[in-house]
Amino acid sequence: MKLIVAVVQDQDSNRLSNALTKAKFRATKLASTGGFLRSGNTTFLIGTEDSLVASALELIRDNCRAREQMVAPVSPMGGNADSYIPYPVEVEVGGATVFVLPIEQFHHF
């Protein structure tokens, strides 16, 4: 048994959620916020059998695309302004950050 923790951008979360449901994966969605861009993310917790991990990862890969986006920087608010860039910059957003963890026990009550 494995636990897949997938952090995806909010723009990709509905598409991924629908794909997981269609493929009969059960997932819990949690609202989360990214630390770098301070933008909305969705964290999926997916429990699955070892043999289905590759299928789940393929769904995540197919439904969470990286793309370029212009973002306005957040002011340092009393922090160190040495690295502050006062104009919008283009950064890569989207995609997914995925962790696959072994599960020692699973209970469904």
Q: Cβ(70)–Cβ(85) under 8 Å?
A: no
Q: Cβ(62)–Cβ(12) under 8 Å?
A: no
Does 103 or 74 have the greater pLDDT score?
Answer: 103
Q: Which domains does the chain have, with CATH numbers?
A: 2-73+87-102 (3.30.70.120)
Tens-digit pLDDT profile for residues 24-56: 999 999 998 776 556 678 999 999 999 999 999
Q: What is the DSSP letter of 99?
A: E
Tens-digit pLDDT profile for residues 6-18: 999 888 999 999 9
